A and B are shown apart, each in its own frame.
Chain A
Amino acid sequence: MSDAPTEPNPTQAPVEPLRTHPASPFMRTESNVPPKVAGIPGPTPPAMRVQSTWVTYRSQIEIGLALLAYLMLLIGSVTLLRANPEASWRYIVAVVPVLPAALVVYLFVRRLAQTDELQKRIQTEAFGFALAGTALLTFTYGFLEGAGMPHLNWTFILPLMAVLWGVGTAIFTFRYR
């Protein structure tokens, strides 16, 4: 960076004459094209940034499909187990839905790794919020259970954490706006 002062200041480079013409029906003024500045290429033409749904939302689509696979296997597994509660293979069938769930985890971690540094910070803060919030709520309900409230299945913890994670993402995204 020390050689920067020796180069001409790009903002003082001569502006393309085309740009200096007043708007006229007879002369093309190219108002949408930024001036060419020496040393710095202009913005990428918009055509370069048009991306297909698959490119833009690839992770979301993949995670959605994996979740769909999880739901389908879960329903299939539960149905099979209800019909054959005494079968010798029931434990294997019971854990089959874990496979697409593991795929969701893999895709999710990969997606996190691809996000930029601000998104990573927002996610870290949102996860912290979700963890602390879940701890607080589950402790609170644990005390209430001790006082006589009905017992809740602990599979409720994950959805609770997911909801708090979503709320946290919204809060911290708004904070950096």
Chain B
Amino acid sequence: MKNRLRVLRAELDWSQADLAHRLGVSRQTVNAIETGKYDPSLPLAFSLAHTFKRRIEEIFEAEVKR
């Protein structure tokens, strides 16, 4: 899945560690989500959406396989 996490984070001037601290996960997890190597669980995706005050669809975008 593609995501806009890095952009949203940069807009708020948060480091990966800041975001990780807010979400209650490790910095490695934030990094793995940002680079698209790990897709977060539904609760973590909702908690990301809540943190950025956006809808999940505004943060994540499914890569459509054709």
A: residues with CB less than 8 A from B are: 1-2, 4, 7, 10-11, 34-35, 37, 39-40, 43-44, 49, 115-119, 121, 173, 175-177
Contact = CB atoms under 8 A, between A and B. Distances in A.
B20 to A, nearest CB: 9
A171 B53 CA distance: 35
A177 B28 CA distance: 7
Contacts of B18: 43-44
Contacts, number: 66
Contacts of B28: 118-119, 173, 176-177
A118 B53 contact: no
A11 B53 CA distance: 11
Contacts of A11: 11-12
Contacts of A173: 28
B37 A119 contact: no
B32 A119 contact: no
B54 A34 contact: no
A117 B14 contact: no
A17 B42 CA distance: 38
Contacts of A177: 28, 31-32, 37
Nearest to A41: B22
Interface string B21-32: 110111011011
